[in-house]
Copies of this chain bind each other. A is one copy, B any other.
C-alpha cells in the first residue's frame, strides 16, 4: 500500500483538521464527537440539513457544507458509518428551530445509525434516503439500491430550498422527489485500498472492468473485458434511462463523476459521449457537471448520474451555493 500516511489511527482526524484549516472561511470542525458545520449558521427559523457517511468519498459530504447546501456533515471512518452520537451532536448544534433533515445514503450501517439517532433526537426531524444506484437491487452492505453520486443532487436541491425558507415537510418532499428522479451507475477499472486494510478491496485483472461497481468497491452487474468508452457510456445510460424512462424533450441534469483515479481528460470525454447519446434520445441536456464529486478513494473509474429536471428542481440546482467543493 502506497499512501500519504503517518498513522492509520490518526489519518482521518488529521485530514479533517487540514480540511477545516483550508476552508476556515466556510466550515468549522468539532471533534469527539466529530462533525463539521457551517462557519456562519443560517438564520433562525430555517430547516437544517445534516448528512454523513463513511469517509473516503471526498469531497462528499464535507465539501458540501456551506450556505445553500448542508449545515453539517458527520464523517465516519473510511467506508464506515458515522455513529449516532455524531449525528445527535450535529443536530443540536445546527438546529435553528425549524427542524432537521437527515440525508442518508442507503447502506445498512448508515441507515441503522441514523435511525438510532432519530429515535433519540427530541428535535423535529425527517430523513431522506438516497438510493440512486441502478446497478444492482441489493448489495454487500445494502438492502435495496445503493446511494451514490445522486446524493449531490439531493443535497444541492434540498439545501437551496432550506436556505430559502422551505419548511421541513416541503424539504422532505423535495428530497424524495429529487431522489426518485435521479439515477446513477458506475464502472471501475481498479480497486481502492482502505488504509486500515492495507490491501486492495477487490482483485481485478489488467484487462477487466467492473460494470455497476459500488462506491466501496461492492460488486456490480458483471465483470467484463474493457471496451471503448462510447460502449461503456451507452451501457451505463441504457440502465439509467431504463430506470427513469424520461419522455422525449424532457430536461435533464448530467453528472459525470470521477471515482478518484481517473484523469479529467477522460471524464470530459465521457461528458461529450454522454451528451451525444442524450441528444440522440431526444432529451434536453439543460445542466451538467464534470469532476470528482463522490469518490472511492483512489479508484480508477467513473459514474454517470442523470436527474430528470422540472422547473423547481432546475431553479434549486441553479440557486447560489458556497461550499468548499461546489460554489456558484
Which of B56, B189, B275, B328 touches A263 (beta carbons < 8 Å)?
Answer: B56
Chain B residues contacting A271 (CB-CB under 8 Å) are 18-19, 21-22
Chain B residues contacting A14 (CB-CB under 8 Å) are 269, 272-273
Is A121 an interface residue, CB under 8 A from the partner?
Answer: no
Chain B residues contacting A2 (CB-CB under 8 Å) are 189-190, 206-207, 209, 226, 300
Q: Chain A, 196-232, contact with B by CB distance < 8 Å: what is the 0/1 string?
A: 0000000000110100000000000000001011101
Q: Chain A, 53-93, contact with B by CB distance < 8 Å: what is the 0/1 string?
A: 00110110001000000000000001000000000000000
Chain B residues contacting A151 (CB-CB under 8 Å) are none
Is A123 an interface residue, CB under 8 A from the partner?
Answer: no
Chain B residues contacting A295 (CB-CB under 8 Å) are 263-264
Is A260 an interface residue, CB under 8 A from the partner?
Answer: yes
Separation of A295 and B271 alpha carbons in the complex (Å):
19
Is A265 an interface residue, CB under 8 A from the partner?
Answer: yes
Q: Tell me whether A229 and B6 are in contact in the complex, defined as CB-CB below 8 angstroms, given that A272-B15, A275-B21, A288-B22 are known contacts.
A: yes
Is A28 an interface residue, CB under 8 A from the partner?
Answer: no
Interface residues of A in 238-276 (CB under 8 A from B): 256, 260-273, 275
Interface residues of A in 82-131 (CB under 8 A from B): none
Interface residues of A in 15-51 (CB under 8 A from B): 15-19, 21-22
Q: Tell me whether A269 and B327 are in contact in the complex, defined as CB-CB below 8 angstroms, given that A264-B58, A300-B298 are known contacts.
A: no
Is A290 an interface residue, CB under 8 A from the partner?
Answer: yes
Number of interface residues of A (CB under 8 A): 58
Is A280 an interface residue, CB under 8 A from the partner?
Answer: no
For this complex, 23 residue pairs linking A to B, each with C-beta atoms less than 8 Å apart, are: A2-B206, A4-B267, A4-B302, A5-B229, A5-B266, A15-B266, A16-B268, A18-B267, A18-B268, A18-B270, A18-B272, A18-B273, A21-B275, A21-B288, A22-B268, A22-B289, A22-B290, A56-B263, A58-B268, A59-B264, A261-B298, A265-B297, A292-B292
* A-B contact sample (9 more), CB < 8 A, given A4-B229, A327-B327: A2-B206, A5-B266, A6-B269, A14-B273, A18-B268, A22-B256, A22-B288, A56-B265, A264-B295
